[in-house]
Amino acid sequence: MLHPTRVIQFGLGPIGSAVARHILERSALKLVGAVDIALAKVGKDTGEVLGLDRRLGIPVSGSLAEALAHGPADVVTHCTGSYADLFTPQILEILGAGLSVVSTSEELSFPWLAHAAEAKLIDDAARSAGRAVLATGVNPGFLMDTLPLTLTAICQRVDHITVTRTQNASNRRGPFQAKIGSGMTVDEFRAKMAAGRMGHVGLVESAGMVLSTLGKQMVRFETSVEPVVTEKPVKTPYFNVAPGRVRGLRQVAHAYAPEGEFLTLVFVAALDEATDQDVVTIEGKPTLEVTLKGTNGDIATVAITVNAIRRVLAAQPGLATMADLPVITAW
Amino acid sequence: MLHPTRVIQFGLGPIGSAVARHILERSALKLVGAVDIALAKVGKDTGEVLGLDRRLGIPVSGSLAEALAHGPADVVTHCTGSYADLFTPQILEILGAGLSVVSTSEELSFPWLAHAAEAKLIDDAARSAGRAVLATGVNPGFLMDTLPLTLTAICQRVDHITVTRTQNASNRRGPFQAKIGSGMTVDEFRAKMAAGRMGHVGLVESAGMVLSTLGKQMVRFETSVEPVVTEKPVKTPYFNVAPGRVRGLRQVAHAYAPEGEFLTLVFVAALDEATDQDVVTIEGKPTLEVTLKGTNGDIATVAITVNAIRRVLAAQPGLATMADLPVITAW
């Protein structure tokens, strides 16, 4: 039997920490390093930073080079930020060190439309390194792209796809509750939205992957966000929201092919939301309606990130998307 | 632009004819030949045999060699029979002619457990020919294997999977209604079952693909079939079923890993069945429940067979399964 795959966790925020904890549960994987830039974490034992009741003997490193000085690795699970300006130098650094990458950065999941220059840089670097890079997660990476694509396999004709993800954010981590505007006034919400970098990231990447894989040109993409306002007080471990304030958001995207609207993505995430399910509707021959219950976003993103490792290690060098690799499964 | 992919349809039964008709609807594909052994079809124009209102200028050939004498092809869509003893020489002949294969033969979808010798023969022949072979369909090929595998991507742990497919067979083709025992007495049904080769074929293949891809050894496989008896008369274009007679079947399979039962497959197909849906339940972390409506078996099998062509043409030579190829989609 081969040695366990050696993994460095890059980024120890809530998702990165959960990925690291899950890597520790998987017998075929071995956590060999952890990187974070937060001064409060660097130098501490990774077990302590992960909230475990034991030391791991792995200090949190302030840089990848420092982590690699402790010993070699095969792959990096990269969980830092959503945006290309942040992750591009990090991914290039990892590839420069000769390691494969599974990332949760939303804009890397299908960067060929919105960030083509960065995509080309990363693809070239991956080919030079002889390694593969994949960004995935529950969304983007699964619910609004890979899953509907998978379902079109049994369609002779696809006229339109709608994916509606409705989440009760009361079950989610604090930063997620913050990201959807919990506790803000409507004016604060609109001001934050106008300033950008709030709300769900990844709709244009999901749309790009779906249309491109189905052989359709995306000629227009529109997106809008509205606050969901609470009528009664809402309390979570992270927020107390008074009536009239924001408990979440409803974000809608429309992607158009030359012949008309082809894909509608609806993302609803709000505290105390009664519905907690995903629905994929494919209009065509046949028309399919698929309903999913239980796709908890945090558990799911951690799972697919770790589950992707074996496919990424076996992949052709380059920047891959979920549509390029054989089915990613538990293992 | 490349020339359209040239396809020969091998087998002009109900599914093969529907595949051929769908190929004619796809602009990237060109039907260049048709093969069937039925003397009533050989020599006739394929358009006539397909029930079209126009001639295609393609005569139905009695053999692949005869079809190829009319001109070259790239791939064969192969829809003849479920069983390895029938399809193995046919697949070897197609590979011998240097063509790729997409087949609907159930036992070829994951033959490595039940038909390992034939699988090895076909895999070797495919590698020698530099071509890929894939067998797919809605089931096996999608609902009870590829789809649950895809869903495990977002699971950190999978304890047990159940897939229940319930079909109202009143919407299906005549041979399908016959295959599930429609119109038989219970004694006739049990006698036919005991003689073998009735009921749904493919449960052991789906189970093999799921367990193998998830890295689990299948240590035991059990299957049973019971008739579904009607209480009131049932009428379809193909059958009149009197009360007390069989309107369909309920087939159940249990697949065991060393630690216990891991996969339960329930296949219900009956005339006038009130429910017409598929449910995939994955117990684990998280527990998922996914419900599908609209997966009409005949439309879906035709779709996935034709949709698979582009992945098979791009695949590594050899006998592939649905778990080996990038996501098959409409295109």
What pLDDT, on the 0 to 100 scale, is given for residue A2? 63
Q: Is A326 touching B (CB cutoff 8 A)?
A: yes
Which of B169, B165, B164 has the alpha carbon at shortest distance from B246? B169
Does residue B115 have a pLDDT over 70? yes
Cβ-Cβ contacts under 8 Å, A280 against chain B: none
Out of B155, B290, B323, name the one closest to residue A290 (CB): B290
Decide if A6 contacts A73 (C-beta within 8 A).
Answer: yes
Please report where in the chains the tokens 């220059």 appear, as a residue. A117
Closest Cα in chain B, distance from residue A125 (Å) = 23
Per-residue DSSP letter, A181: T
Q: Is A27 touching B (CB cutoff 8 A)?
A: no
Q: Is A307 touching B (CB cutoff 8 A)?
A: yes
Task: Please give the full DSSP string across A15-57, using - where no structure is assigned.
Answer: HHHHHHHHHHH-TTEEEEEEE---TTTTTSBHHHHTT-SS--S
Q: Is B328 touching A (CB cutoff 8 A)?
A: yes
Cβ of B300 within 8 Å of Cβ of A286? The answer is yes
Cβ-Cβ contacts under 8 Å, A307 against chain B: 152-153, 155
Which of B152, B177, B202, B189 has the alpha carbon at shortest distance from B270? B177
Q: Is B300 touching A (CB cutoff 8 A)?
A: yes
Cβ of A153 within 8 Å of Cβ of B303? The answer is yes
Q: Cα A28–A33–A37 angle (5° rounding)?
A: 140
Does residue B77 have a pLDDT over 70? yes
Please report where in the chains the tokens 């992949």 appear, as a residue. A315
Cβ-Cβ contacts under 8 Å, A285 against chain B: 299, 303
Which of A235, A138, A107, A100 has the alpha carbon at shortest distance from A177? A235
Chain segment A206-226, per-residue pLDDT in tens: 999 999 999 999 999 999 999
Decide if B79 contacts B11 (C-beta within 8 A).
Answer: yes
What pLDDT, on the 0 to 100 scale, is given for residue A198? 73
Closest Cα in chain B, distance from residue A56 (Å) = 21
Mutation test of the interface with chain A: which of B22, B159, B329, B331, choosing the one with the most A Cβ atoms within 10 A? B329
* Cα separation, B3 vs B237, whole angstroms: 41
**Helix locations, chain A, DSSP H:** 14-25, 46-49, 64-69, 84-96, 116-129, 146-151, 174-179, 186-195, 203-213, 297-307, 309-314
Chain segment B124-173, per-residue pLDDT in tens: 999 999 999 999 999 999 999 999 999 999 999 999 999 999 999 998 88
Give the C-alpha distances (Å, rounded to integers) separating A120 from A114, A117, A219.
12, 5, 21
* Cα separation, A291 vs A278, whole angstroms: 6
* Cα separation, B129 vs B319, whole angstroms: 11
* Cα separation, B167 vs A195, whole angstroms: 51
* Cα separation, A146 vs B99, whole angstroms: 30
Segment B29-50 mean pLDDT: 98
Q: pTM for this one? A: 0.96
Going by pLDDT thresholds of 50, 70 and 90, the confidence category of residue B2 is: low
HSE of A96, CA atoms in CB hemisphere, 13 A: 9
Segment B194-211 mean pLDDT: 90
What pLDDT, on the 0 to 100 scale, is given for residue B116? 97
Cβ-Cβ contacts under 8 Å, B216 against chain A: none
Q: Is A138 touching B (CB cutoff 8 A)?
A: yes
Mutation test of the interface with chain A: which of B147, B301, B327, choosing the one with the most A Cβ atoms within 10 A? B327
Q: Is B327 touching A (CB cutoff 8 A)?
A: yes
What pLDDT, on the 0 to 100 scale, is given for residue B297? 83
In B62-211, DSSP assigns E strands to 75-78, 100-103, 132-135, 157-168
A window 171-230, beta carbon within 8 A of B: 213-215
Does residue A95 have a pLDDT over 80? yes
Cβ of A153 within 8 Å of Cβ of B307? The answer is yes
Cβ of B299 within 8 Å of Cβ of A329? The answer is no
* Cα separation, B38 vs B10, whole angstroms: 12
Cβ of A153 within 8 Å of Cβ of B295? The answer is no
What pLDDT, on the 0 to 100 scale, is given for residue A1? 47
* Cα separation, B213 vs B320, whole angstroms: 13
Question: Could you count the other beta carbons within 10 Å of the beta carbon of residue A193?
Answer: 19
Q: How is residue B235 written in tokens?
A: 């009428």
Cα distance from N-terminal residue to C-terminal residue, chain A: 16
Question: Could you count the other beta carbons within 10 Å of the beta carbon of residue A71?
Answer: 11
Cβ of A293 within 8 Å of Cβ of B288? The answer is yes
Give the C-alpha distances (Å, rounded to integers) separating A115 from A90, A138, B32, B196.
15, 21, 42, 58
What pLDDT, on the 0 to 100 scale, is given for residue B172? 86
Taking the C-alpha atoms of A169, A175, A180 and A185 in order, what is their torsion angle to the nearest 10 degrees?
A: 110
User: At a CB cut-off of 8 Å and minimum separation 6, what does B260 contact?
Assistant: none
Going by pLDDT thresholds of 50, 70 and 90, the confidence category of residue B236 is: very high
Cβ-Cβ contacts under 8 Å, A138 against chain B: 154
Does residue B34 have a pLDDT over 50? yes
Cβ of A330 within 8 Å of Cβ of B147? The answer is no
Decide if B323 contacts B147 (C-beta within 8 A).
Answer: no
**Amino acid in the structure at residue A226:** E
- Percent of chain A scoring above 90 in pLDDT: 93
What pLDDT, on the 0 to 100 scale, is given for residue B196? 77
Closest Cα in chain B, distance from residue A184 (Å) = 31
Task: Please give the full DSSP string across B269-328, using - where no structure is assigned.
Answer: EETT-S--EEEEEEEEES-EEEEEE---HHHHHHHHHHHTHHHHHHSPSEEE-TTTSB--
Segment A176-189 mean pLDDT: 94
What pLDDT, on the 0 to 100 scale, is given for residue A172? 86
Does residue B1 have a pLDDT over 50? no
Question: Could you count the other beta carbons within 10 Å of the beta carbon of residue A185?
Answer: 15
Please report where in the chains the tokens 């009870």 appear, as a residue. B144
* Cα separation, A91 vs A134, whole angstroms: 10
What pLDDT, on the 0 to 100 scale, is given for residue B137? 97
Dihedral (CA of B67, B73, B78, B79) sign: negative
Decide if B151 contacts B280 (C-beta within 8 A).
Answer: yes
- Percent of chain A scoring above 70 in pLDDT: 99
Chain segment B206-225, per-residue pLDDT in tens: 999 999 999 999 999 999 99
* Cα separation, A306 vs A312, whole angstroms: 10
Q: State which residue of chain A sits closest to B329, comparing Cα positions.
A: A153
Decide the pairing of beta strands A75-78 and A60-61.
unpaired
